[in-house]
């Protein structure tokens, strides 16, 4: 039977690359994003062409009503949810020094990057537990897309770093709670990946990469993350719950 995967923020960037890999692997996909469906028809069409049954669940992961609606429409269509990929995330609208970070920006980033994934995971975990008797062959898992910012301090976007550090602990918490149901929870931690999120600072990161920031001498591509997530979904790490999969080209290895 095909696995059903819900990918938040699956309409572009890293989430879309994950969707492409999972479509290739024959999964049913529920793709979430904020934009109206009409704006991402090309994406839906391309994913469908790859043989995937796909629905688009428009909604804001920071809203409780939207989260409930996203899960409801996924279950209504597919009847079952095997994998949740908490990928949707944002940086601050304006990067500002730690001494000037506003409460509004702090709240917005935390709500989308941490509160949303936490409560979405809670709901999905309840569904998975209710169906755990049929989790033959360990088909279910939860994957959180964090960031090297979970451990690397950027003082001009502290709220983003805090949200990702929180997501990292969230992985360990849910891994601990769901172990008895044979539901692994993983954290995938990308480095600098070329997407809309990094477009504004790409030149700076490109230069730093040329100067040796990453051990692998290039910036990351969304598909680098997509391939790693597909391996997790395919059950290639069955005894590694709570672990971090680094996809950072060696950026975070301390060097002398
Ligand atoms: P991106 O290109 O900016 O895409 C963001 C995606 O998230 C879009 O699909 C967007 O939907 C969706 N989204 C944003 N806010 C949302 C909300 N409130 N509710 C539902 N969906 C929402 O970002 P990306 O670079 O692919 O990043 C994806 C994840 O990887 C994020 O969690 C990010 O923190 C993490 N990450 C990125 C990098 C990097 O270098 N790019 C590095 C480490 C970690 P719409 O298309 O509708 O706007």
Q: Which of 21, 70, 89, 167 to mutate to test the pocket of ligand 1 (most atoms within 8 A of CB)?
A: 89
Q: Is the CB of 246 under 6 A from ligand 1?
A: no
Question: Per-residue pLDDT for the chain (256 aa), expressed as one digit of tens each?
Answer: 899 999 999 999 999 999 999 999 999 999 999 999 999 999 999 999 987 899 999 999 999 999 999 999 999 999 999 999 999 999 999 999 999 999 999 999 999 999 999 999 999 999 999 998 877 666 999 999 999 999 999 999 999 999 999 999 999 999 999 999 999 999 999 999 999 999 999 999 999 999 999 999 999 999 999 999 999 999 999 999 999 999 999 999 999 9
Contacts of 87 (CB under 8 A, 6+ apart): 7, 8, 9, 10, 14, 15, 18, 145
Q: Where do the domains of the chain lie, and which CATH numbers do they carry?
A: 4-247 (3.40.50.720)
Query: For residues 195 and 187, is the Cβ–Cβ distance under 8 A?
Result: no
Question: Exactly one of 56, 160, 186, 205 is catalytic; which is it?
Answer: 160
Residues 210-219: tens digit of each pLDDT: 999 999 999 9
The position carrying tokens 């992985």 is 171
Residue 62 to residue 70: CA distance in whole angstroms? 12
Model pTM score: 0.98
Residue 186, beta-bridge partner list:
143
Closest CA to 29 of 13, 12, 44: 44
User: CA torsion, points 33, 221, 228, 168, in degrees to nearest 10?
Assistant: -70
Residue 79 to residue 134: CA distance in whole angstroms? 13
H helical segments located in the chain = 13-24, 41-49, 64-78, 103-110, 116-130, 158-178, 202-210, 222-233
Q: Is the CB of 87 under 6 A from ligand 1?
A: yes
């Amino acid at each position: 039977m095909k696995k059903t995967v819900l990918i938040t923020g699956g309409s572009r960037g890293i989430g879309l690359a994950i969707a492409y890999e999972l479509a290739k692997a024959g999964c049913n996909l529920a793709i979430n994003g904020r934009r109206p469906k009409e704006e991402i028809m090309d994406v839906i069409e391309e994913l469908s062409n790859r043989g995937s049954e796909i629905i688009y669940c428009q909604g804001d992961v920071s809203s409780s009503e939207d989260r409930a609606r996203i899960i409801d429409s996924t279950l209504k269509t597919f009847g079952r949810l095997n994998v949740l990929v908490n990928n949707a995330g944002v940086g601050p609208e304006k990067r500002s020094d730690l001494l000037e970070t506003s409460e509004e920006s702090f709240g917005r980033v935390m709500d989308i990057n941490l509160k949303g994934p936490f409560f979405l995971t809670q709901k999905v975990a309840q569904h998975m537990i209710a169906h755990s008797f049929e989790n033959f062959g360990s088909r279910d898992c939860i994957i959180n897309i964090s960031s090297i910012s979970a451990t690397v301090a950027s003082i001009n976007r502290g709220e983003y770093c805090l949200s990702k550090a929180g997501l990292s602990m969230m992985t360990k918490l849910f891994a601990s709670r769901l172990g008895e149901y044979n539901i692994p929870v993983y954290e995938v931690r990308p480095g600098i990946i070329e997407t809309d999120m990094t477009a504004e600072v790409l030149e700076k990161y490109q230069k730093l990469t040329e100067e040796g920031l990453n051990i692998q001498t290039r910036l990351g591509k969304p598909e680098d993350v997509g391939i790693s997530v597909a391996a997790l979904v395919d059950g290639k790490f069955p005894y590694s719950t709570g672990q971090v999969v680094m996809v950072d080209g060696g950026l975070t290895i301390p060097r002398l």
